[in-house]
Amino acid sequence: MLNSNSNYIMEPSFVHCENLIEGRLSFRGMNPEIERLLELEQAEKVANTRHEQPTEVSDKDMASFYNAQQVTMQKKFQTKAQFKAKRNNVEKTKWQNKKARFHKPQEDDV
């Protein structure tokens, strides 16, 4: 309540005083005990206000993504010899994977 002849506001409730910081402060190691208390108080406030964020990407999706990235990075740092050897190996396996067909026997074999 503000009186016309007073510069002070009279408030009968203690609600405004509940969440104030400690009255004793210390900076740059002048009083380590007080600084430790303030750090503990601050850590407690942060722990109470921190909420766990929901995951946007599942663990399985993340694992498959990083697996693909690993292959990409391996390709990036391959030498030319490794690249050519791998390409030749792939071409050989393609040739080996062709299905063998029946060939007629030649006249000489009969």
Give the percent of the chain with pLDDT over 70: 82
| 1: Cβ contacts below 8 Å, ≥ 6 apart | 9, 10
pLDDT value of position 108: 75
10-27 pLDDT tens trace: 878 877 777 776 677 777
Regarding pTM above 0.75, the answer is no
36-50 pLDDT tens trace: 888 888 888 888 777
Where does the chain have alpha helices with state H? 32-49, 59-76, 80-96
Pick the closest to residue 22 from 45, 55, 53, 54 (CA basis): 45
The pLDDT mean for the chain works out to 78
